[in-house]
Amino acid sequence: MATTASEPAPQSVVLGYADLQTMPEDGRRYEILEGELTVTPAPSTQHQRVSRNLEFLLHAHVSARGLGEVFDAPIDVLLDRQTIVQPDLVFVSSDRIDVIQTHGIVGAPDLVIEIASPATEQRDRGAKQQLYARFGVAHYWRVDPTARTLVELVLKQGGYQLRDTHAVTEPFRTELFPDLQIDLAAVLHVPPRKTSK
C-alpha cells in the first residue's frame, strides 16, 4: 500500500549493542552492520579446523613475544554503537591493549581474519571489508579454504590495498609479524577420513 503525503513514511529500526545482547545462543552468528541485523548459520567443520589451526599458530607466536592477544569467534567487536561484528579471528597489539574490555573489543583490532564460507563470502568481500577499512582495521586477511588462498589486505589512505594473494605452494610472511612464517598448506589441511572395512 502506497503512503500519501499526509502519512509518515515507515521508519527503519536501527539496532545497537543492547539489541545484540538479547539474541539467542543458538550456534548462529549475529552481527549488526550499521544498525541492521545479519544472521549466519554455524560454521562448517572445515571452517572451524582452519580457524583453530590459524588461531593456535598466531597465539603461540604472539604470546611468546608479548605482542598482544589473539581472540576467536564468538567475540563482539564494537566498531561503533550500531556496528558490532564477530570476525573469525582478531589480533590486538600490546600497544592498543586498552581496546580489550570485559564485554568485547571496543574499537578496531590491528588484524581481522575472516574465513570464507558460502553464507559469508559475499559479505566478507563487500560490506564488512568496507566497514573494516572505514573504522581503521589496519590489516584484513580473507582465507578461502576452497580456493586454498589467503588474501592479505593492508589499510592505506582510508582503503585496502592488496599486499598479496598467498597460495599453499609456498610459506607466507606478513609485514604485521615479520618473523613469522605461515605454512598455509598446514593451516588448510583436511585430515584423511578413516574408511570402514
pLDDT in tens, 86-126: 999 999 999 999 999 999 999 999 999 999 988 777 777 88
Furthest CA-CA distance within the chain: 75
Q: Is residue 28 part of a domain?
A: no
Q: How many domains, in total, are found in the chain?
A: 1
pLDDT band at 159 (very low <50, low <70, confident <90, very high): very high
Compute the average pLDDT of residues 118-139: 87
* Residue of 143, 172, 175, 181 whose CA lies nearest to 156: 175
Q: Whose CA is closest to 52, among 148, 149, 188?
A: 188
Point out the least confidently predicted range of 23-37, 79-93, 176-190: 23-37
Checking if the pLDDT of 4 tops 70, the result is: no
Q: Is residue 16 part of a domain?
A: no
Assigned domain for 7 exists = no
The pLDDT, as a whole number, for residue 31 is: 73
| Residue position matching grid coordinates 544472521 | 39
Q: Cα(110)–Cα(136) distance, rounded to whole angstroms? A: 8
Pull the grid cell for residue 114: 575472516
Q: Is 88 a domain residue?
A: yes
Residue 8 lies in a domain: no
Which residue range(s) make up the domain with 179? 43-187
Direct distance between the N- and C-terminal alpha carbons of the chain, in angstroms, rounded to an integer: 64
Instruction: Check which CATH number belongs to the domain holding 142 and give it.
Output: 3.90.1570.10
Give the bridge partners for 172, in sequence order: 182
Give domain status of residue 21, yes or no. no
pLDDT at 10: 56
Separation between Cα atoms, residue 55 and residue 60, nearest integer Å: 8
Q: What is the rounded CA–CA span in Å between residue 74 and residue 39?
A: 13
pLDDT at 7 over 70: no
Q: Cα angle vertex 140, ends 34, 100, to 5°?
A: 70
Average of per-residue pLDDT across 59-77? 96
The residue ranking higher by pLDDT, 57 or 39, is 57
Instruction: Quote the mean pLDDT of the chain.
Output: 87
Residue 48 belongs to a domain: yes
Element housing 68 (H / E)? strand 68-72
Looking at the domain assignment, is residue 95 inside a domain?
yes
Rg over alpha carbons for the chain, rounded to the nearest Å, is 19
Mean pLDDT of 79-86: 91
